[in-house]
Amino acid sequence: MEGQGEEIKIVLDSVHEKFTTEDGAAFLQYKIQPAKNPEEKQVMDIQHTYVPGSMRGLGVAGLLCKAAFAHARNHNLLVLPTCSYVSANFVKRNTEWNDIVVPEALTSTL
């Protein structure tokens, strides 16, 4: 994504369970919940998204979410959108990710 003449890159910080912009100013924080039994998938609980005022309006929150959802899909995880931005905005506007959203969370966001 272009913003102020620069491409915004998203980086995975798996040690701290975050996706961040390269400068660390904006981030999406998550926790991995273990599967309750062998037949279930692990869940990526997206808990918080933060974008500083200087980066708002550039689509950074959406880029963070897309990176997190792509990671979840690539690692066979379900997503629990605990963060209000993710549940109220991103999930509703990006239905192509519905197949990896925890079903109970999906019905409560529609």
Catalytic sites, residue numbers: 83
Judged by DSSP in three states, 19 sits in: strand
Name every residue whose Cβ is closer than 8 Å to that of residue 1 and which is 6 or more positions away in sequence. Answer: 7, 8, 58, 59, 60, 63
